[in-house]
């Protein structure tokens, strides 16, 4: 019982660290939500609001659903990242990719590049 009381009274923040992480430019790129009317809605009904959610979705999306959005006639993911987030370089990389795995890799490389670019500036 005494141990439980000690844990309950423990401070919630670590000394020397800010209580909440600072929002940086890279957070805005990765986690910024698009306006609700610009959300990507997959064929299965999943709503995607930012590049992080797209990354999570690509990791688990069914190949049939992916094939609905990316095929010889269209690439909905390329259109969305290019038009909504103005990520033209990523959109072009997506247009050259035809599998879910290739899209995942292109997106993760793109985000890593943004993080490294941000780190160089700071």
Residue 16 counted as domain residue: no
Total domains present in the chain: 1
- Written in H, E and C, the secondary structure of the chain is CHHHHHHHCCCCCCCCCCCCCCCCHHHHHHHCCCCHHHCEECCCCCEECCHHHHHHHHHHCCHHHHHHHECCCCEHHHHHHHHHCCCHHHHHHHHCCCCHHHHHHHHHHHHHHHHHHHHHHC
What pLDDT was estimated at residue 101?
Answer: 97
What pLDDT was estimated at residue 32?
Answer: 86
Give the domain range for residue 99: 33-121
Residue 5 counted as domain residue: no
pLDDT tens across 9-36, in order? 444 444 555 555 555 666 766 778 999 9
Mean pLDDT, the chain, as a whole number? Answer: 84
Residue 10 counted as domain residue: no
Asked whether residue 64 carries a pLDDT value surpassing 60, the answer given is yes
pLDDT tens across 67-91, in order? 999 999 999 999 999 999 999 999 9
pLDDT band for position 47 (cuts 50, 70, 90): very high
């Amino acid at each position: 019982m005494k141990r439980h009381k000690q844990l309950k009274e423990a401070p919630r923040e670590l000394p020397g660290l800010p209580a909440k992480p600072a929002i940086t430019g890279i957070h805005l790129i990765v986690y910024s939500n698009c306006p609700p009317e610009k959300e990507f809605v997959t064929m299965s009904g999943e709503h995607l609001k930012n590049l992080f959610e797209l990354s999570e979705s690509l990791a688990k999306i069914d190949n049939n659903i992916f094939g609905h959005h990316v095929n010889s006639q269209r690439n909905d993911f390329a259109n969305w990242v290019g038009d909504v987030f103005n990520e033209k370089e990523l959109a072009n990389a997506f247009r050259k990719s035809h599998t879910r795995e290739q899209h995942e890799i292109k997106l993760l490389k793109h985000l890593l590049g943004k993080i490294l670019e941000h780190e160089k500036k700071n």
